[in-house]
Structure formats: C-alpha cells, structure tokens
Amino acid sequence: MPSHAPSSVPADELGTLCLTMAKRAKAASTVLAQAPTTAKNRWLLASARALESRKDELLAANAKDIAAAPSFGLNAAAIDRLTLNPSRIASAAEGLRQVATLPDPVGEVREERQRPNGLQVKKVGVPLGVVFFIYESRPNVTVDAAALCIKSGNAVILRGGKEAIHSNTALHRLLSDELKRCELPSEAAQLVPTPDRQAVSHLLSMSEYIDLAIPRGGKSLIQRVASAAKMPVLKHFDGVCHVYVDAAADLEVAERIVVNAKCSRPATCNAAECLLVHAALADTFLPRIGNALLAKGVELRGCAETRKRVPAARLATEDDYRTEYLDLVLSVKVVANLDEAVSQIGTFGSHHTDAIITRDTRAAEEFTRRVDSSAVMVNASTRFNDGFELGLGAEIGISTDRFHARGPCGLRELTTYKYVVTGNGQVRE
Amino acid sequence: MPSHAPSSVPADELGTLCLTMAKRAKAASTVLAQAPTTAKNRWLLASARALESRKDELLAANAKDIAAAPSFGLNAAAIDRLTLNPSRIASAAEGLRQVATLPDPVGEVREERQRPNGLQVKKVGVPLGVVFFIYESRPNVTVDAAALCIKSGNAVILRGGKEAIHSNTALHRLLSDELKRCELPSEAAQLVPTPDRQAVSHLLSMSEYIDLAIPRGGKSLIQRVASAAKMPVLKHFDGVCHVYVDAAADLEVAERIVVNAKCSRPATCNAAECLLVHAALADTFLPRIGNALLAKGVELRGCAETRKRVPAARLATEDDYRTEYLDLVLSVKVVANLDEAVSQIGTFGSHHTDAIITRDTRAAEEFTRRVDSSAVMVNASTRFNDGFELGLGAEIGISTDRFHARGPCGLRELTTYKYVVTGNGQVRE
C-alpha cells in the first residue's frame, strides 16, 4: 500500500481542518481516559508487532522522504536522522514493548489519608487530555511520542517535520490501524496531514481543546511554539550545562566525568558546555583535562587563567559562556570558589543540568541547595538527566520550566490528578 | 503612626514602578529560597504577635477604609467583608501560627530511589519564585496569602482591592517590618501602592520576574487576569457543583448533605448549585428535600419532572443549569440514571466539585472514575473541597486547571522540585 502524498490544504480550509482535528482529539481523549490499562498495553504490543510485519511498507515510505531530502537542503547528518532501517524499526518496536511494561499513571493513587472526621482522601492520577506534540526529523519520535501519550491516557496530535512526512504518515497509519483493532478510538493519535506552518499556529490557538503543547527540537522551533501557544507548553529552550570541579575533587573522577559530559553525545541537551575549575586546582587539573579533551578533538575556549595552563585554548568571550555549542567545543573558566561557581551558573546557565565534582560533602550539599537547575549532579555526568536514567522509564522531553513538571517528563508528568473523597454522610459545620 | 494614603502614580512612571517591584521581588526570592525553616517560622510567629500588639494602628487604618466605603458604592455585605475587628485580627494571628506548624515544602524529599548503576536520585521541593496575588476586599487575605507564599519560600507581590488600601497598607507594613526584624528580605512581601488597574496589567506582562499569578475573587477578575497574564495562572473561574442522589442513596444522608452543600455557606465556590435526582427516587426524595430546602429559604428551579413533585419550584432554563448562583438558589433535575448524571455534570459543570450519594459501591466507583472534577465526593458534602478539610493545612486557592495543581492548593502546590543526583564517578555509555 503506497503512502499518501502530503496533501496541500487551501488556506481558507486549514482552520476548519485543524478545528476538526482538535475536536476529534478532545472527544477521543474522553474515551481514552477511561480505557483500561490492558487495552492500552495490548495496543502497544500489537503496534510493536505491526512495525515488524509492515516493515517493507515503512521502508518504502521512508525511501520517498530520503529521495526528497536533497530538495529540502538536508545535510548528511540530517539525512541520517531521517533514515529508517530494519534496526531502527526494531528499536521503535522495542520502545513500545518497554512502555507496555511501565506502570499506568491513570488511576494510580498518589496520596491517601484519613481525616479526623473519617473522610478518606485520595489523590488519583488522571490524564491531561489532549497533547499537541511538535517535533523535527526523526520518524521514530512519532512512535515514541504516541506511545507515551496514549499509555498516559492522552489523545495526541502529532506534527513532525515536513521532510519526514511520508515516513510519519505510514507510521501514523499503522498506529491508528492498531488503535481500531484494539477497540480504542483511532483519533486518539492524529497526524497533521499538511506541512503548512499555519496549521501549527491554528492548533496552538485552540486551548479549548488542546491541554498541552510539547515542542521538541531546536531552540527556534521551541521559541515559536512557546510564544504562539495559548495552552501550557512543556519545554526547555537550551541546555547550557556546567561541570564544576571543586577544590576537593577526585581528579580521576573529574576527568572521567568531564570527558563523558562533553564527548559522549555532544549534540544532546544534557551535554556539558562549560567547565568551571576551582583556582586551587588550576595548575594540576587544567593541563590534565586540557590534554584529555584536546585528544578527543574538543575545541577549548577559556579565560585568561585557563589559557596560562592550556595554551591551545582560545580566549572565551562572554557570549561563549552563554552558548549551547551542541558540538565538540567547551568553555572553560577558573573560579575562585564555590560561590563564584554558583553565581556563574546562575547568570550564564539555563537551569537544565549542572554538576559538582567533590569529595567534600558540605560543598556538595551547598551546591545542590543553591544551584537551581532541573537536575543537579554530584560526582556524576550531566548526561544522566534523562527520563530512563533517572528511573522514569522513558521521557517525552525535559522541562526547565517551574510549573507542573521539571526535569525529565515521563508518563506521570503527562497526567494531572483529582481528589476522590469518600465519607459516610459527613457535612461541614 | 498614620497609614499612608494610596499614592497616585503618573501613567508614565507606573511601568517603571512595577518593573522595579518585580525585579526586587525576584532578587528577594533568591534569598528567601535559601532561608531556613526556623527563620520563616520565626517571622510567622513574630507577625502574629505584632498583629495583636499593633491592633490599634490596624483598626485606625481600617476605619479610614470603612469611612470611604460608601464612596465606592459598597453594600452592607461588602462593608462587613472589609471590616477588621479584634476578633478578625486574632483570627489572622491564629492563621499565621497555624502556618508555622505546617511542614516546610522547601527541601522536602518527595521521592528517592537508587538506580542499578548506584546513582541515588532524589526529587527535592524548591520554591516557584515570585507569586503575584490579586484579590478583592477582605484585608485578612493579605496576611493569609503572605504567610503561605513566604513559608513556601516564594516572594509575593500583593494587590488587594482599592477599597481596602489603608488596611492592606497597614498590614503589609507590619509584615514587612517583621521580615526585616527576622533578617529576611523585606521585599519578599510587597504591596502594589496604587489602586490603578494598569499596574496589574504591567505586572501580568512581566513573566521574566514573576513565576505565577493567583487571582482570588469574582469570575470577571479571574477572567481579566487569565487573559492578560504572560505567566502561569492558578485559578478556578467558578464552581457549578453538583450533588447526584443515586437510586441506592440513603435518603437521610442525602438530605443532610444536600442541605449542607447548598445552605452552609452559599457564597463559597464549593457550595452546591445543582441537585440531580435519580428517577427512581423522584417520588420519595424530591418532596422531602423540596420541603427541607424551602424551609431554609432556598429558591428552587427545576425540570418538569421536578415540578410535578415540588410545585413551588419554578421551571429551570438551560442557563440556570450553568449558573453559579452563590446564593440560596438551587437548580434541580431528575435524571434517568448515573450515565445521564455524569453527562449532565460534564456538560454543565465547571470541574470544581461534584458528589454522589449512594450505598452502591459500584456506582460510587463509576462516578468517581468518570466525573472529571478537581474533587469528587462520595457520601460527603461538596463543601469539603478545601485545603484545610482535605488535610493540606491551608490553601491559597482552588484550581480547576489541569496543569501543575488541581483542587485546593497549599504550601506544596506553591513549589516545584529539582532532581538531586548523587554518584561516585558514574558516566553514561
């Protein structure tokens, strides 16, 4: 079965199309909110099997996107992200099976207490409603996002990158077919059928039907979504993450963590972008870490004190210290003490992930108390700020906002709660 | 010491004044976020003492507001709400002492787990930052709101009603004096010094400095705040609360709860506005509850089936079923079954508080699962949807939103969290 080409929708019909999608999503969400865990898990497992059995159809759709990729000006790395292959399809299927094993946050009793008058008070998890998920080129994200939204009882409207539309259309059709087969509302997962950017603006205005927008991608995408959305947005703009090597650091631990935080996957939001070194260690640690990083091909941009110890570093500008390089580049600064480190992180960081390396528990305690980031690490790599690594099972994204959820957001963060209060005739004075 | 008169600020200086307030609040919030529990409690207790020792000054300021009240067109009920007297001052002091006994949500470890790689993951409470609290005429609210915000580590900008400005100025000066005396930042609690509405618009645009807006008052105030705010808003528009009397209800329990839910304080958001009665009970329960409510002076507006059993009821319009009367008026409707009750509540309710009266646990389970309100009651009055009654200690308001917090919001709901992750050198593959 061939993929449908992305339909171009006349401007005057686009608003109606989006409104229809949003209303259908809301209607589907009220049915899905009541769906038993077993039905949602059955859908996850059936979709995993379908990904494998319908592999050829998915690869054929993906081939169309790959063929069209040069016309979008995609470079080799972007084409790689866009590519589906049997191993990536298997990994998407594995992701679905993992989500099936996670506890259902809907109906979960989160707190329970008995009041002196005998009232039994429970706080019970319920879905948010409808999620609008806006992302870029990796087609696997279509599957991951739909899995997390639906397992948490939310309907989802998916809006992938225009360059992935054939792949996403094929993946969405598969997920939707399995929803029907599992007797769940097929409109619980919808894909915006047109690459028109105006569709995103329309949907972001529909706060009556859509409860949450989640943008995942570059900073400019996230800024566009955040400024246009009339509903709450779960997001982080960027990850200007720091590693502070304290005077009491174990230098071997410090070297291992700095190299890992910078080099293991430099394009991720939890990679380190700035190294802060206590002045007492400037002579010993800086030459050592400088060599280790240069050997890994990292470009260093440092303060004057850094450059005395690592001459290969070029002079950092103030802008460098605010920059999320997403590449093998690292800012370096020598700080007088923990106080200056905390202040540098507060001024130049993005409240995403910051780490201290120290054997001094008092310093660790002060750093974790004063640094106000979604995750604060002690003697561990910044790269652990991730839903799976922190024990949430999986994540739909990382939030640096203060409202609702902070840090990695998994199934529970896609829900809210209600109070269920049971009495035997109590009235209030 | 006389209260200062509300200063009138020239329009071109108002924006600067508001920006200065917002920046000072942000700066104070970073200090307050680190304040120990003992310091915050010391301030609460010292303020309670000061309310009592400076009673005369407060009563004198309040007398000015009372004298000016007729010029604002306030009726007797509004003047009563505006009035301070020794007993109300004592009750405000008692409120401060109670908040001092509540656990501090800042630094509270909410979850803790060990990962297979040895990482210790903690979720730790931290303040939201700066709260902008907008309210109407009761001066005691100034004290309550400041207490909850500051105990939860947040700076607060208070904006009371123009008719209470002398009372609020005196109360705020007292709270601020005690902040200084307790070596906490006095700008952690600021009062907007002008009655100009434009000040509210300015502050609601300053999402860089203000993290949350909380409007408390009538629906039009809340709508104005919600539509202008650039930051998140914690709110409910109205409370169209239902009591559904199921076929399996204990009629004595049902009567007691319906009378309490409607009559105990009809002007509150958790008072019942609509009674739904299962058709099987129309002949027995309706005449009984009709008489009980009429004896309490309640005006009834019912469907045709209701009027057959309670001729004193006038015919309800569709609008009546959407109305929050906030008065001794009740809509009544006979429904065929639980399904129709749930559907009526979903269509006409406001997701605030809805109750079922039944001895049938299956019906109770279905009702609590399907009714999507901030609190769902079984055999208990809707009036229990309140922070103190549900065990939160106190509340700053009730939310019917789905994001961040739902139902009564106490100290914990005025905070967010961060992950604190401790390792011994772990890096990520």
Q: Domain residue spans in chain B?
A: 11-228, 241-386
Q: How deeply is B398 buried, as exposed, middle or buried, from its count of CB atoms within 10 A (0-12, 13-18, 19+)?
A: buried
Using CA atoms, how far residue A63 sits from A93, A207, A327, in Å, is 20, 36, 29
Give the separation between CA B109 and CA A362, rounded to whole angstroms.
18
Q: Taking a C-beta distance cutoff of 8 angstroms, is the pair B152, A428 a contact?
A: no
Q: Which residue of B131, B260, B354, B402 is the best one to mutate when testing the A interface, meaning the one whose CB has the most A CBs within 10 A?
A: B402
| Nearest-Cα residue of chain A relative to residue B253 | A425
Closest CA to A346 of A367, A365, A364: A367
Lowest mean pLDDT among A69-73, A154-158, B2-6, B282-286: B2-6
Closest CA to B149 of B187, B111, B94, B123: B187
Could you tell me the maximum CA-CA distance found in chain B, to the nearest angstrom? 78
| Nearest-Cα residue of chain B relative to residue A271 | B428
Instruction: Give the pLDDT score at B402.
Output: 93
* Structure token digits, residue A400: 């640096």
Q: Which residues of A touch B427 (CB under 8 A)?
A: 256-257, 259-261, 264, 380-381, 383
Q: How deeply is A361 buried, as exposed, middle or buried, from its count of CB atoms within 10 A (0-12, 13-18, 19+)?
A: exposed
8 Å CB contact of B390 and A121: yes
Q: Which residues of B touch A372 (CB under 8 A)?
A: 33, 126, 418
| Nearest-Cα residue of chain B relative to residue A404 | B404
Q: What are the φ and ψ backbone dihedral angles of B354, each rounded to 5 degrees?
A: -140, 145
* Structure token digits, residue A79: 């084409």
Is residue B335 predicted with pLDDT exceeding 90?
A: yes
Q: Is B109 on the interface with A (CB under 8 A)?
A: no
What is the dihedral sign for C-alpha A214, A215, A219, A225? Answer: negative
| Nearest-Cα residue of chain A relative to residue B254 | A425
What is the dihedral sign for C-alpha B340, B346, B347, B349? Answer: positive
Average pLDDT, stretch B332-360?
98
8 Å CB contact of B384 and A113: no
Residue located via tokens 């769902």: B376
Closest CA to A224 of A338, A112, A99, A134: A134
* Structure token digits, residue B263: 């009559």
Residue B1 banded pLDDT, cuts 50, 70, 90: very low
* Structure token digits, residue A198: 């105006």
8 Å CB contact of A403 and B416: yes
Q: Is B268 on the interface with A (CB under 8 A)?
A: no
0.90 exceeded by pTM: yes
Closest Cβ opposite residue A379 in set B372, B416, B422: B422
Q: Is A360 on the interface with B (CB under 8 A)?
A: no
H or E segment at B109?
A: strand B109-114
pLDDT single digits (tens) A190-235: 999 998 999 999 999 999 999 999 999 989 999 999 999 999 999 9
Q: How deeply is A54 buried, as exposed, middle or buried, from its count of CB atoms within 10 A (0-12, 13-18, 19+)?
A: middle
For chain B, the straight-line distance linking the first and the last C-alpha, in angstroms and rounded, comes to 67
What is the dihedral sign for C-alpha A371, A376, A377, A381? Answer: negative
Q: Which residues of A touch B250 (CB under 8 A)?
A: 425
Q: Is A347 on the interface with B (CB under 8 A)?
A: no
Residue A67 DSSP SS3 = helix
Instruction: Give the pLDDT score at A104.
Output: 98
Q: Is A109 on the interface with B (CB under 8 A)?
A: no
Q: Taking a C-beta distance cutoff of 8 angstroms, is the pair B244, B336 a contact?
A: no
What is the dihedral sign for C-alpha A364, A370, A376, A382? Answer: negative
Number of Cβ within 10 Å of residue A198's Cβ equals 13
Q: Taking a C-beta distance cutoff of 8 angstroms, is the pair B182, B48 a contact?
A: no
**A406: DSSP letter:** -
Closest CA to A427 of B400, B276, B357: B357
Instruction: Give the pLDDT score at A11.
Output: 80
Low-confidence ranges of chain A (pLDDT < 50): 1-5
Give the separation between CA B289 and CA A382, rounded to whole angstroms.
63
The percent of residues in chain B predicted with pLDDT above 70, rounded, is 98
Closest CA to A408 of A235, A196, A199: A235
Instruction: Return the amino acid letter for B347.
Output: T
Interface of A with B in 305-324 (CB under 8 A): none
Give the separation between CA A413 and CA A406, rounded to whole angstroms.
9
8 Å CB contact of A256 and B419: no
- HSE (side-chain half, CA atoms, 13 Å) at B314: 7
8 Å CB contact of B121 and A391: yes
Residue A104 DSSP SS3 = coil
Give the separation between CA B370 and CA B339, rounded to whole angstroms.
9
pLDDT single digits (tens) B365-403: 999 999 999 999 999 999 999 999 999 999 999 999 999
Q: Taking a C-beta distance cutoff of 8 angstroms, is the pair B239, B397 a contact?
A: no
- β B407-409/B397-399 pair status: antiparallel
The C-alpha R_g of chain A, in whole angstroms, comes to 24
Q: Which residue of A114, A418, A424 is the best one to mutate when testing the B interface, meaning the one whose CB has the most B CBs within 10 A?
A: A418
The C-alpha R_g of chain B, in whole angstroms, comes to 24
CATH topology of domain B241-386: Aldehyde Dehydrogenase; Chain A, domain 2 (3.40.309)
| Nearest-Cα residue of chain A relative to residue B252 | A425
What is the dihedral sign for C-alpha A167, A173, A179, A182? Answer: negative
* Structure token digits, residue A270: 């939890």
Q: Which residues of B touch A121 (CB under 8 A)?
A: 390-391
Closest CA to B40 of B155, B139, B140, B125: B155
Mean pLDDT of chain B: 96
Closest CA to A272 of A247, A291, A302, A244: A244
| Nearest-Cα residue of chain B relative to residue A388 | B115
Give the separation between CA B174 and CA A99, rounded to whole angstroms.
54
The domain covering A15-228 belongs, at the CATH homologous superfamily level, to Aldehyde Dehydrogenase; Chain A, domain 1 (3.40.605.10)
Q: Is B358 on the interface with A (CB under 8 A)?
A: no
Q: How deeply is A53 buried, as exposed, middle or buried, from its count of CB atoms within 10 A (0-12, 13-18, 19+)?
A: exposed
- Count Cβ–Cβ pairs < 8 Å, chain A vs chain B: 197
CATH code that applies to domain B11-228: 3.40.605.10
ipTM of the complex: 0.95
8 Å CB contact of B384 and A424: no
8 Å CB contact of A391 and B428: no
Q: Taking a C-beta distance cutoff of 8 angstroms, is the pair A49, A185 a contact?
A: no
pLDDT single digits (tens) B119-175: 999 999 999 999 999 999 799 999 999 999 999 999 999 999 999 999 999 999 999
Which residue pairs from B87-91 have beta carbons closer than 8 angstroms and sit at least 24 positions apart in sequence? B88/B140, B89/B51, B89/B52, B89/B55, B89/B58, B89/B59, B90/B51, B90/B52, B91/B140
Per DSSP, what are the bridge partners of residue B334? B277
Q: Which residues of A touch B228 (CB under 8 A)?
A: none
Beta strands per DSSP E along B313-414: 314-315, 329-335, 353-357, 375-380, 397-399, 407-409
Three-state SS across A321-350?
HHCCCCCCEEEEEEECCHHHHHHHHHHHCC
Instruction: Give the pLDDT score at B41.
Output: 98
Residue located via tokens 């709400």: B81
- β B109-114/B120-127 pair status: antiparallel
Using CA atoms, how far residue A29 sits from A129, A154, A174, A215, A338, in Å, is 6, 6, 19, 20, 49
Closest CA to A428 of B257, B272, B243: B257
The torsion region of residue A6 among left (phi > 0), alpha (psi -120 to 50) and beta comes to beta
Q: Taking a C-beta distance cutoff of 8 angstroms, is the pair A177, A58 a contact?
A: no
Q: Which residues contact B429 (CB under 8 A, 6 or more apart)?
A: A264
Residue B5 banded pLDDT, cuts 50, 70, 90: very low
pLDDT single digits (tens) B34-78: 999 999 999 999 999 999 999 999 999 999 999 999 999 999 989
Give the separation between CA B65 and CA B59, rounded to whole angstroms.
10
Q: Is B164 on the interface with A (CB under 8 A)?
A: no
8 Å CB contact of A377 and B253: no
The percent of residues in chain B predicted with pLDDT above 90, rounded, is 95
Q: What is the separation of C-alpha A112 from the centre of its chain, rounded to a whole number of angstroms?
A: 31
Give the separation between CA A315 and CA A303, rounded to whole angstroms.
6
Per DSSP, what are the bridge partners of residue B190? B157
Instruction: Return the amino acid letter for B413.
Output: E
Interface of B with A in 175-234 (CB under 8 A): 211-212, 232
CATH code that applies to domain A241-384: 3.40.309.10
Chain B: give the shortest CA distance to residue A7, in Å: 34
Closest Cβ opposite residue A256 in set B107, B128, B425: B425
Instruction: Give the pLDDT score at B9.
Output: 80
Q: What is the separation of C-alpha B140 from the centre of its chain, rounded to a whole number of angstroms?
A: 14
Number of Cβ within 10 Å of residue A369's Cβ equals 18
Give the separation between CA B119 and CA A375, rounded to whole angstroms.
13
Q: Taking a C-beta distance cutoff of 8 angstroms, is the pair B69, B115 a contact?
A: no
Instruction: Give the pLDDT score at A7.
Output: 58
Instruction: Give the pLDDT score at A4.
Output: 44
Q: Is A34 on the interface with B (CB under 8 A)?
A: yes
